[in-house]
Amino acid sequence: MAEAQLDTAQAERKLAYVNAITEGVREVLLEQPDAFVAGEDVAGAGSVFGYYQGLLEQFGPERVIDTPISEKGIMGLGIGAAATGCRPIIDLMFMDFLGECMDEVANQMAKMRYMFGGHAKLPVTVLTMSGAGMSLAAQHSQSLEAWLTHLPGLKVVAPATPYDAKGLIISACRDDNPVFVILNKLSLALEGPVPEGAYEVPIGKANVIREGTNLTIIAFSRMVHEALQAADQLKEHGIDAEVIDLRSLQPLDTDTIVASVKKTHRAMIVHEAVRFGGFGGELAAQIQELAFDYLDAPIGRVGAPFSPVPYSPSLEQSYMPNAKRIVAETRRLIGI
């Protein structure tokens, strides 16, 4: 069912995001004998988030592998094995741990093919968990996609729904390039339709999930749901917002974004990461360049304020972007 154009509406069965991840990985392990999962507590525990549970039993310890707490080693394992014929699925438990293996990611994984003049192929997929909201504080709550999207050689996707989580994992693992699949911890229990069997969600295609006429809200990962809520609320203020779920950050579906903004004349970008220096800057820069004459208002950006993620619920709640802030920021920028 490669490149299936399954209509989400068709899929009757509902599944939680966490289980959609499991299914995606299971499909890959079923179809690709050279694929295996390696990471900290992925086998016996089935990941601390539970999304590999059952895979050890189904595929055995040779294909679902617990590793030491050695992120450089784990990432190196993925790179070396991918360069020599395997298709590793590497689990980086929390995205916050990227710092521990950023050399392997940035200087080896992303660049190897290019530095080698095209004489290497690296079909490695990294699954990692981002996001705040569980009082896990500054070192277990970050959204660091901006580090990755700045790295030629990597692909980066960030599913917002169970459907996309499964489909993007399958696409990522079938891709012959390194792909980061950024998951979101507050979304784990989120339910949505998920077809059985293998299907792909194309990497590089954004999804217009709500049509609208006079504002484009661009979001990804969990912020998509906040954007949808904001769109509902904005209706009361006479704003009919289109919502784009990017799904893929690299490659970026600039065409879909620009076409929408040319139609709506306004854009609001939302991500959970710190606003300053975040991926939203790239989006805003591209939009203003490519749709300059169409813009009726400055492009807005909603992101986290410029601080580490705080622990206390009272602070964390006011730290995280949400529908309310999207609405407020939209109203401020548009002046209504």
Partner 1 sequence: MTIQATDAVLLDMHERMVRIRIFEEEAGKLMENGKVPGALHLYVGQEAVASGVMVHLNDDDHITSTHRGHGHVVAKGGAFKEMYAELYGKADGYCKGRGGSMHICNMEIGMLGANGIVGGGIPIAMGAAFAKKYRKTQEVAVSFFGDGASNEGSFHEAANMAALYKLPLILVCENNGFGEYTRQDAHQAIVDVADRAAGYGMPGVVVDGMDAIAVYEAAGEAVARARKGEGPTLLECKTYRYYDHVGVRGMGLSYRTDEEVEHWKQRDPITMLESRLVEQGILTKRKITNIHKRIREDAKQAIEFAEKSPLPDPSELLDDVYYVQA
Ligand X SMILES: Cc1ncc(C[n+]2csc(CCOP(=O)(O)OP(=O)(O)O)c2C)c(N)n1
Active site residues: 140
Among 3, 14, 30, 139, indicate the residue that binds partner 1 (CB under 8 A): 139
The helix (run of H) or strand (run of E) holding residue 207 is strand 207-210
Facing residues of 65 across strands?
38
Span from 42-50, 122-130, 145-153, 175-183 in contact with its own copies (CB under 8 A): 145-153
Q: With H, G, I as helix, E, B as strand and everything else as coil, classify residue 83.
A: helix
Binding partner selected for residue 158 from its own copies, ligand X, partner 1, none, CB under the kind-specific 5 to 8 Å limit: none
Among 24, 37, 78, 200, indicate the residue that binds partner 1 (CB under 8 A): 78
> Structure tokens of 291?
């749709």
With a CB cutoff of 8 Å and minimum separation 6, the contacts of 44 are 56, 66
User: Residue 83 or 243: which CB sits closer to partner 1?
Assistant: 83
Kindly report the backbone phi and psi dihedral angles of residue 283, in degrees, each rounded to the nearest multiple of 5, phi listed first. -65, -50
End-to-end CA distance of the chain: 48
Among 40, 91, 253, 272, indicate the residue that binds ligand X (CB under 6 A): 40
Nearest to 127 by CA among 67, 183, 83: 183
User: Residue 11 or 45: which CB sits closer to partner 1?
Assistant: 45
Q: Could you say which residues in the range 246-265 bind ligand X, by CB under 6 A?
A: none
Among 42, 65, 146, 268, indicate the residue that binds its own copies (CB under 8 A): 146
d(CA 217, CA 236): 16
User: Residue 58 or 139: which CB sits closer to its own copies?
Assistant: 139
Q: Could you say which residues in the range 204-263 bind its own copies, by CB under 8 A?
A: 250
Q: Could you say which residues in the range 58-117 bind ligand X, by CB under 6 A?
A: 69, 71, 93, 97, 100
Nearest to 164 by CA among 208, 212, 210, 207: 207
How many residues touch its own copies (CB under 8 A)?
55
Are the beta carbons of 45 and 97 closer than 8 angstroms?
no
Q: Could you say which residues in the range 101-120 bind its own copies, by CB under 8 A?
A: 101-107, 110-111, 114-115
| Binding of residue 54 to partner 1 (CB under 8 A) | no
Q: With H, G, I as helix, E, B as strand and everything else as coil, classify residue 98.
A: helix
Residues recorded for the chain: 336
Which residues of the chain form contacts with its own copies (CB under 8 A)?
Answer: 96-107, 110-111, 114-115, 137-139, 144, 146-147, 149-153, 250, 273-274, 276-285, 288-290, 292, 295, 297-301, 306-308, 310, 333
